[in-house]
Structure 1
């Protein structure tokens, strides 16, 4: 079945961007936001259209996920939901998230990223970048073998490249039995507070992983010297 044309201006901007990526870039193809702006000069906030596609199962990597990419390059790894197809019939849930539902999820999650615990506008420890919170869909495999989609609050950094992940509830619960006493107490404290506090060592590790090779080598030398 032939796809609609991305040049069809009667389609919404997200559908047109998705069609262009699927047909012009293709899976594995590299593109830039500047290129998208040139193709769609009348579309404002072109980066938001890409985020919308990610929330619908499209995997689009940046240099953070694929070190072979340049700073301004993105790669279409895999196509998710065919957003250009109309959803028909009563009772079908739309793929979008309403403003009311968004506020409900943010309130439920305490207005923090459920993956890293950062709050909106807070600076990441290893950079001057400030967080932006959004709503992500996460697929959960339940203990009875069925799957469900959970809406959670995540910062943009945690959300990028993670839409393909699935949580296995039964396996996760079973792993509790393999924890030591100290690990159990630590996990119980996070669950009680419904928030994970990152220690200094974890923050240093995260910062180390973001540094270029030369700086990482210097870090390792200083660390080794400190060990005596």
Structure 2
């Protein structure tokens, strides 16, 4: 065990800190644990689930089946360590992106037109195939700007949130590529920005469907390309 990480059983720390240490030393980043394992590790704490959730306000990422559909209702995944809350001052240094109140959440959803900013789906709308319906949530996105890195809030569906977890948005790169566009391309892009929407051509939609096909079906399409 890393000498800088104290033992999680130490009575010198509060329950939230001990829970952080338990995740690091007994579970490990990227690994799955169950609610039963957590409660067995802290039998003296009746609300250990809440103490663990408090770590999220210190930038610890702990996924449930709401965030990651591959998990069962009794499982959670320790995704990423946040602030080292066992060190002096860290447990009191709340993240600037701590939990929102209902008003803030509603304002973000209204701002984003109650649509996932990644795929554009609305809450309750069915994904392609009609088996699963979308659930919207507010995600924290790390954004690289000309002046440095910031964390911004954005509406995402559960599927896109899981698929894009840990990715960083580079606004500087977007601005750089925009600057390299021709006047005609910039004008078209400006129209999309103004409408906050763009229609995909029939060929683009067909390409998207082709890319989602299983390998054997893609081969069937590939063999027919170019035939009259």
Q: CA 1:39–1:141 in 2, change beyond 3 Å: closer, same or farther? A: closer
Q: Which residue of 1 aligns with 2:43?
A: none
Gap runs ≥5 in structure 1: 209-215
Q: Distance in 2 between matches of 1:220 and 1:112?
A: 31
Gap runs ≥5 in structure 2: 41-45
Q: CA deviation at 1:139?
A: 1.9
Q: CA deviation at 1:31?
A: 1.8
**Residues 1:121 and 2:103 aligned together:** no
**Residues 1:40 and 2:45 aligned together:** no
- Residues 93-134 of structure 1 show CA distances to partners (whole Å, capped at 9, x for unaligned) of 462122211111111111001111111111111451111111
Matches within 5 A, 1:84-99: 85-88=90-93, 93=96, 95-99=98-102
Q: Larger radius of gyration, structure 1 or 2? A: 2
Q: CA deviation at 1:83?
A: 6.4
CA contact (8 A) 2:108 2:155 kept: yes
Q: Which residue of 2 aligns with 1:146?
A: 148
Q: CA deviation at 1:166?
A: 2.1
Matches within 5 A, 1:178-189: 178-179=180-181, 184=186, 187-189=189-191
Q: CA deviation at 1:82?
A: 4.5
- Residues 128-172 of structure 1 show CA distances to partners (whole Å, capped at 9, x for unaligned) of 1111111111122222x3222211111111112534222222221
Q: Which residue of 2 aligns with 1:31?
A: 32
Q: Distance in 2 between matches of 1:163 and 1:201?
A: 27
- Residues 189-225 of structure 1 show CA distances to partners (whole Å, capped at 9, x for unaligned) of 43122135555235415633xxxxxxx2321222123
Paired positions, count: 205
Q: CA deviation at 1:78?
A: 3.6
CA contact (8 A) 1:124 1:131 kept: yes
Q: Which residue of 1 aligns with 2:107?
A: 104
**Residues 1:201 and 2:202 aligned together:** no
Q: Distance in 2 between matches of 1:110 and 1:5?
A: 44
Q: Distance in 1 between matches of 2:224 and 2:48?
A: 51
Q: CA 1:2–1:114 in 2, change beyond 3 Å: closer, same or farther? A: same
CA contact (8 A) 1:135 1:151 kept: yes
CA contact (8 A) 1:134 1:155 kept: yes
Q: CA 1:201–1:140 in 2, change beyond 3 Å: closer, same or farther? A: same
SS of equivalent residue, structure 1 residue 112:
coil
Q: Distance in 1 between matches of 2:134 and 2:145?
A: 31
Q: Which residue of 1 aligns with 2:168?
A: 166
Q: Which residue of 2 aligns with 1:192?
A: 194
Q: CA 1:24–1:206 in 2, change beyond 3 Å: closer, same or farther? A: farther
Q: Which has the higher contact order (CA 8 A, sep 6+)?
A: 1
